[in-house]
Amino acid sequence: RFVPMLAEALARLGATRAIVAHGLDGLDELSTTSPTHLAHVENGICAEETLELATVGITPARLADLQAADIAEAAAMIRRVLAGEPGPCRDIVLLNAAAALVVAGLTTDFTQALEVAAEAVDSGRARETLATLCRVSNAG
């Protein structure tokens, strides 16, 4: 019930484009274990929808497939995703990256945004970008 309220607050604060997401499984992001309640903000107008995984071609995952026991395991999961390993971790990363691409205005279509996100991972650009960010943040 807070999704539309947060979206409305963002619109009133002047956000030109935003997505507020809440997985019906309780995740505070776009989820691959359940449908996700979304509220889109576009130039002060809010619209709600429920994103069903089947509509974007994602196979539902189990929450256990996305959980890491510790920081080392989480880092290993990220490295596998950035190396292009298929599976539930890649799917949730791509889904949330797709939402970011929609918010950035690069596309309005989640399926197309998923393809753009997958290409960034598969080409190695996402891994290179993370490596650059790590170098820059550790340079100081």
pLDDT at 43 exceeding the cut of 70: yes
Confidence of residue 138 (pLDDT cuts 50, 70, 90): confident
| CATH number for position 52 | 3.40.1030.10
pLDDT: which is higher, 81 or 1: 81
User: What does the alpha-carbon distance between residue 51 and residue 30 come to, in Å, rounded to a whole number?
Assistant: 9
- The DSSP bridge pattern shows strands 17-23 and 36-42 to be antiparallel
pLDDT for position 1:
79
pLDDT for position 140:
66
User: Contact at 8 Å (CB) between 58 and 88?
Assistant: no
pLDDT digits (tens, 9 = 90+) for 88-127: 999 999 999 999 999 999 998 999 999 999 999 999 999 9
pLDDT for position 38:
97
The total domain count for the chain is 1
pLDDT for position 108:
87
pLDDT digits (tens, 9 = 90+) for 16-40: 999 999 999 999 999 999 999 999 9
Q: Read off the pLDDT of each residue in 44-53 and give the average, rounded to a whole number.
A: 96
User: Contact at 8 Å (CB) between 48 and 37?
Assistant: yes
What amino acid occupies position 31? Answer: S
Domain with 33, as residue range(s), is 2-138
CA 43 to chain centre: 21
| Tokens describing residue 50 | 């429920």
